[in-house]
Amino acid sequence: MVLVVVMGVSGSGKTTVGSRLAAKLGWKFYDADNYHSPENKKKMAEGKPLNDEDRMPWLCALHDILRREDAFGQDAILACSALKKMYRYVLLSGAFATASNQPEESGENKALKILFVHLDGPTDIIAGRLEKRRGHFMPPELLKSQFDALEPPSAPENFITVSLEKSLPEIVLEIESIIFQGEAFLE
């Protein structure tokens, strides 16, 4: 059973990459944007960045989805910004992580095993994508706040970084090959 979180700033292609990969593999796909509260969506639509307090209930709900898929032995992919290390800890361990700022490693609340796929690329490529996107609650003006908040994953986190300068099929193939070559890293 494999859980993957495709992460990055708004406009990096999380939903496109995640949904394409899930369709190719026959896995479940979840888009974290669908789980934002109406208040969060309204705030972002008004050009106001979310703060940690806004994000915590959302991240805990996403953790619950991942925990459920894990319990059922279902492979799943979640597209989620997961910009800060603390947010990734919450995805791994739920509300427990908010108190300790670390994933739980043992006991009842044992952290999930998740591969974080960081979609990374130049600001101008991502800004161009945001300018073309229509009907999304996240305005291009908030891109700078996303980059300001971004804490790229680092050891000991379980992650890979994939360049957005590749084509969509190349990105999907790279992630797929890493998943199947390295399933041991999720053990």
User: What does pLDDT average to over the chain?
Assistant: 86
Q: What type of residue sits at position 119?
A: L
Q: Is residue 47 part of a domain?
A: yes
According to the model, what pLDDT value does residue 128 have? 74
According to the model, what pLDDT value does residue 184 have? 42
- What is the per-residue pLDDT across 100-155, written as a single tens digit (0 to 9) for each? 555 555 445 688 999 999 999 998 888 776 766 555 445 556 677 888 889 999 99
Q: Who wins on pLDDT, 147 or 187?
A: 147
Q: Is residue 168 part of a domain?
A: no
According to the model, what pLDDT value does residue 150 have? 93
- Angstrom distance (rounded) from CA 89 to CA 102: 6
Q: Who wins on pLDDT, 134 or 47?
A: 47
Q: Is residue 136 part of a domain?
A: yes
3-class DSSP state of 122: coil
Q: Is residue 141 part of a domain?
A: yes
Strands 76-79 and 159-163: unpaired
Q: Is residue 59 part of a domain?
A: yes
Q: Is residue 178 part of a domain?
A: no
Q: Is residue 181 part of a domain?
A: no
Most confident of 44-58, 65-79, 118-132: 65-79
Q: Is residue 19 part of a domain?
A: yes
What percentage of the chain has pLDDT greater than the value 70?
82
Residues in the chain: 187
- Angstrom distance (rounded) from CA 17 to CA 170: 10
Range of the domain at 138: 3-163
Check pLDDT > 80 for residue 20: yes
pTM of the predicted structure, to 2 decimals: 0.87
Count of domains forming the chain: 1
- Cβ(97)–Cβ(24) below 8 Å: no
In sequence order, the 6+-apart residues with CB closer than 8 A to the CB of 88 are: 5, 7, 82, 114, 116, 153, 157
Strands 3-7 and 159-163: unpaired
- Angstrom distance (rounded) from CA 40 to CA 160: 29
Q: Is 169 exposed, middle or buried (0-12, 13-18, 19+ CB in 10 A)?
A: exposed
Q: What is the mean pLDDT of residues 27-32?
A: 97
According to the model, what pLDDT value does residue 144 have? 77
- Residue 117 sits in a domain whose CATH number is 3.40.50.300
Most confident of 96-100, 127-131, 169-173: 169-173
